[in-house]
């Protein structure tokens, strides 16, 4: 059994073609099974970091490893089967005529044959509570249902690492809770990129803050969110009246 971190970034820098430095020497290790919130103001490098984890973007310098395997052109196909990205907008992932076809697309593309393909689709839909909608078109689903189907399209690939971009965005309170329950029921290593600090506290046990492409903080999520000065320095803010004690954070983290 590998003792390597599930995700490891070493000296990762990324400079866009226009010369903008999006990441400036990021060192980060996430252990298997950890749930880590990636926080930071707009333009801090959160999405750029996320896109490095399965090779959508390549670092200008430095190394990204998944389970000890460097992300390179040669390893890209295998890495993409091991790291699942759930984008902020479900429309970026849902494009087939039916829910079940959307969920089957990824593993089929990775060469998973029947009957295993059908089994994966069924189990992924069951995991997100959407099995009874398998024959429907995603256009007729609610925002919360679309978000859960988008998650199922990734789960069907059986990823080792799950990366979610603003998972609570545009969801009503019930849909937020239902999605959180699904995510907390998974044993997968998880990185949650979000501005929603209470949701991060509910899902994650650790937080990192990015600002101007640098790692500004890394620690237990209750410690990070309890430091009002640190949050203010990084243009982050808890909702008015929200308080988080270490005991609450421990409970919300599902540990």
pLDDT grade for 69, boundaries at 50, 70 and 90:
very high
Positive/negative CA dihedral, 155, 176, 174, 141: negative
Q: Which of 47, 59, 81 lies closest to 12, judged by CA?
A: 59
Domain ranges in the chain? 7-90+158-252
pLDDT grade for 255, boundaries at 50, 70 and 90:
very low
Report, as an integer, the average pLDDT of 10-32: 96
Query: Is residue 181 within 8 Å of 251, Cβ to Cβ?
Result: no
Torsions phi, psi of 202, nearest 5?
Answer: -70, -35
Question: Which pLDDT tens digit goes with each residue over 236-245?
Answer: 999 877 766 5
Query: Domain 7-90+158-252 carries which CATH code?
Result: 3.40.50.300
Question: Which pLDDT tens digit goes with each residue over 91-128?
Answer: 888 999 999 999 999 999 889 998 999 999 999 998 88
Pairing of strands 61-66, 7-15: antiparallel
Rounded to two decimals, the pTM is: 0.89
31 C-beta neighbours (distance < 10 Å), count: 14
Question: Which pLDDT tens digit goes with each residue over 199-238?
Answer: 999 999 999 999 999 999 999 999 999 999 999 999 999 9
Give the long-range contacts of residues 110-113, CB within 8 A, separation 24 or more: 110/77, 110/81, 110/157
**Which residue bears the tokens 């099974």?**
33
SS3 131: helix
193 C-beta neighbours (distance < 10 Å), count: 23
pLDDT of residue 18: 95
pLDDT of residue 23: 97
pLDDT grade for 64, boundaries at 50, 70 and 90:
very high
């Amino acid at each position: 059994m590998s003792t390597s971190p599930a995700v490891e970034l070493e000296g990762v820098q990324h400079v866009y073609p226009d010369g903008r430095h999006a990441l400036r020497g990021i060192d980060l290790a996430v252990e298997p099974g950890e749930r880590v919130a990636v926080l930071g103001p707009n333009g801090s490098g959160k999405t750029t970091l996320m896109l490095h984890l399965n090779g959508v973007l390549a670092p200008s310098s430095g190394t990204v490893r998944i389970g000890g395997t460097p992300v390179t052109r040669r390893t890209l196909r295998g890495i993409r089967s091991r790291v699942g990205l759930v984008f902020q907008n479900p429309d970026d992932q849902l494009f087939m005529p039916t829910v079940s076809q959307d969920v089957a697309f990824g593993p089929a593309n990775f060469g998973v044959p029947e009957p295993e393909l059908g089994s994966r689709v069924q189990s992924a839909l069951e995991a997100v509570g959407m099995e009874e909608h398998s024959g429907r078109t995603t256009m007729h689903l609610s925002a919360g249902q679309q978000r859960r189907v988008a998650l199922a399209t990734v789960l069907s690939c059986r990823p080792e690492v799950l990366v979610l971009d603003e998972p609570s965005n545009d969801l009503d309170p019930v849909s937020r809770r239902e999605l959180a329950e699904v995510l907390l029921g998974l044993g997968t290593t998880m990185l949650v990129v979000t501005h929603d600090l209470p949701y991060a506290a509910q899902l994650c046990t650790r937080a990192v803050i990015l600002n101007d492409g640098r790692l500004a903080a890394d620690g237990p999520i209750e410690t990070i969110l309890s430091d009002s000065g640190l949050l203010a320095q990084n243009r982050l803010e808890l909702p008015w009246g929200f308080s988080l004690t270490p005991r609450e954070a421990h409970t919300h983290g599902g540990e």
